[in-house]
Copies of this chain bind each other. A is one copy, B any other.
Amino acid sequence: MSNSLDSFFHPRGVVVVGASHDPTKLGYGVARNLVHCGYVGGIHFVNPRGGTLLDRPVYTSIASVPDPVDLAVLIIPAPAVPDTLRECGARGVRAAIIASGGFREVGPEGLALENACLQVAARFGIRLLGPNCIGLLDTHLPLDTTFLPPPTPSPGDVAFLSHSGAVCAAVIDWATGQGFGLSQLVSLGNQADVNETDMLAPVAADPNTKVLTLYIEGITTGRRFVDEAKKVTQHKPVIALKVGRFAAGRRAVASHTGALAGEEAAYNAAFRRAGVIRADTNEEMFDWARALAWCPPPAGRAMAVLTNAGGPGAIAADAIESHGLHLTELTADTQAALRALLPPSASVRNPVDMLASASPGQYAQSLRLLLADAAVDGVMVILLPPPMFSADEVAEPLVPVIRDSAKPVVVALMGENLIQRAAQLFRAAHIPDYRFPERAASALAMLAQRGEVLARAHWQPSPLPDVDRAAVRQLFSAADGGSRPFMTQAQVERVLSAYGVRTPRVELARTAEGAAALARELGFPVALKVASPDISHKSDVGGVLLNLGDESAVSDGFMTVLRNARAARPEADVWGAHVQRMIPAGQDVIVGAVQDPQFGAMIMVGSGGIEVEAVRDVAFALAPLSREEADYLLESTWAGRKLRGYRNLQPADRDAVIDVMLRLGQLAADFPELAEIEINPLRVLPEGEGTVALDVRAKVVA
């Protein structure tokens, strides 16, 4: 199935198999839309009953359809689809949209039919969209292969790829009322052949598409999606609405990292790596899409607000700050120029309140001044129909000012009936308008985020040269992954050591006397930890004692941790206790890695200890990771930020933490059989002194 998808997007002729005379049938809808949309290639209908439809002949077989024809739309009962595909293949069709339902979504029989379709498609080199989809739509070509009732969407700049045909239908209808058009729409259905990842590059190649929006319920080819999406996001924004957050089953996990590394963490990490912006709601996605399609990204997060009323200005100020932007301080020159332009009781500080008397000229001139101010990265214009002018009278002179600006401007156009004509003016000029300042602020914030996506585009993990893969491979092949998935302390430490992660010298004592002797050799004070391949969280069973200062404390302690462990876990195999010298004070973090089923190796960093899941001060990234992304992860957690020092907390060796993150990430990426590995805590010593992995656990799967 390596054939191009080109016939979906640029067909020379389309055949509708199952075209119907009955206006209540979907087969009529497809024929109607194809004819009415203005498609200029060949349009052919097939139905065994023959006749004419919409002034065109209806052929009784696919074989008799004349040239040109390379795309078929099948809207026939599911059982007939495989044979029909075969006829399509014989006729030279290169691409087929199977609109019909009745496949995988209805059970095993349907799945068998779907597989039969795939076999036929493979034999003839046909690419399949669907089944169980509403097809594909290009408003500019134009081409409409859907059966949806009119009106069709107006031509626009936003492409929409969707795992749900129903969401396509709703978005198409809803978009018409929101004043934005679509460029292309692809309903992916069951994705028997073509999936969202396959469609990214072809849709992004469409010159009419300025922004890609995705509705997705899951991604099956995780890393390929990340790679493909990353290529696209370097030149066009991609926004995704991913649902199914709460449907994901809980996995059995053995570490804090595993417990927190759910599907959500993986998708967020993957979207960040790919430069995909994630939306939480449909409205948010399309609010952002319009702004991203029509406005340049701002150079920074310093925003100005221009308003003719105080209340909306206050709403805008709050919304701007709450979205992580800030209200800039206007330069003295700008304030003076505004002062000269506006009435004395106007406010010339940000938000600039021109008062209800603001004229169209004052609006345009004030906006020009704000955009010329070097302290301003972007502007929100609030337009509440003023008492003395209509909203469109104000909008008219604003349009050229906004279109000529290299800085983004979004409009909060407040009201409904009184702003209709102004809204049309703005939309025609490709200026995004929103009913309330809150949504306009959200769009401004997304423009800033898009700028940051572009600034991160060069982040690239570089392979670590000084790791000993062979040593780890040997350890893993020796590890008894089946019956006893947890590696021993010593094994984990050898693995870490092969990847350059320091662990303290730890020795196993099998008796109380042995523990005391080891402690004397290592130097006091020491820590004791129960040694058992069956006990993962040692402190949970009272299996850890710290700061033991002399031999008698060590030998007593040995008995205590063994007794505690046996009491808590009578079934556990207990080998004795590990003895190690106490490590100097410092800050503690957790660093862990897991394998995500969709996206592979992921790394986590954050606040460690035993409260990891409760405190949730952690951040995830795909592994291996770049130094820049490691730095970004640290900055997104409090545990990471405080490494720079906080109050009487001394600065710690932040670079050494990044080094451990890179090494652990490389390890997890190199060895998919390493299901989980976790350092908790990683003791971070003062600057320049490195880190020590105080406690480690790892799980290997066969």
Q: Which residues 432-453 of A sit at the B interface, judged by CB distance below 8 A?
A: 435-436, 438-439
Are B648 and A435 touching (Cβ within 8 A)? no
Which residues of chain B are within 8 angstroms of A215 by Cβ–Cβ distance? 311
Q: Of B164, B417, B539, which contacts A648 at CB under 8 A?
A: B539
Are A417 and B314 touching (Cβ within 8 A)? no
Q: Quick one: given A217-B314, A417-B177, A646-B611, are A280 and B438 in contact (CB under 8 Å)?
A: yes
Which residues of chain B are within 8 angstroms of A699 by Cβ–Cβ distance? none
Stretch from A317-325, A392-400, A511-519 forming part of the interface with B: A317-325
Q: Quick one: given A280-B438, A648-B542, are A163 and B311 in contact (CB under 8 Å)?
A: yes
CA distance A162 to B314 in the complex (A): 13
Nearest to A542 among chain B residues (CB) is B648
Are B540 and A648 touching (Cβ within 8 A)? yes
Which residues of chain B are within 8 angstroms of A169 by Cβ–Cβ distance? 384-385, 414-415
Are A174 and B415 touching (Cβ within 8 A)? yes
> A242-282 interface mask toward B, CB cutoff 8 Å, 1 = contact, 0 = none?
01111100000000000000000000000000000000111
| Interface residues in A, total, Cβ within 8 A | 83
CA distance A191 to B6 in the complex (A): 66
CA distance A29 to B388 in the complex (A): 12
Are A106 and B345 touching (Cβ within 8 A)? yes
User: Chain B nearest CB: distance from A613 CB in Å?
Assistant: 9
Q: Which residues 124-183 of A sit at the B interface, judged by CB distance below 8 A?
A: 147, 149, 151, 162-167, 169-170, 173-178
Q: Quick one: given A243-B318, A540-B647, are A436 and B283 in contact (CB under 8 Å)?
A: yes
Are A438 and B173 touching (Cβ within 8 A)? no
Are B283 and A435 touching (Cβ within 8 A)? yes
Is there a chain B Cβ closer than 8 Å to A387's Cβ? yes
> A198-217 interface mask toward B, CB cutoff 8 Å, 1 = contact, 0 = none?
00000000000000000101
Which residues of chain B are within 8 angstroms of A101 by Cβ–Cβ distance? 356
Which one of A166, A414, A436 has the highest number of Cβ atoms from chain B below 10 Å of its Cβ? A166
Q: Which residues 634-675 of A sit at the B interface, judged by CB distance below 8 A?
A: 638, 641-642, 646-649
Is there a chain B Cβ closer than 8 Å to A337's Cβ? no
Is there a chain B Cβ closer than 8 Å to A90's Cβ? no
Is there a chain B Cβ closer than 8 Å to A309's Cβ? yes
Nearest to A540 among chain B residues (CB) is B648
Is there a chain B Cβ closer than 8 Å to A223's Cβ? no
Is there a chain B Cβ closer than 8 Å to A315's Cβ? yes
Which residues of chain B are within 8 angstroms of A29 by Cβ–Cβ distance? 387
Are A167 and B312 touching (Cβ within 8 A)? yes
In addition to A164-B314, A165-B309, A217-B314, 7 A-B residue pairs with Cβ atoms within 8 Å of each other are A166-B309, A166-B310, A169-B414, A243-B317, A283-B436, A539-B648, A615-B617
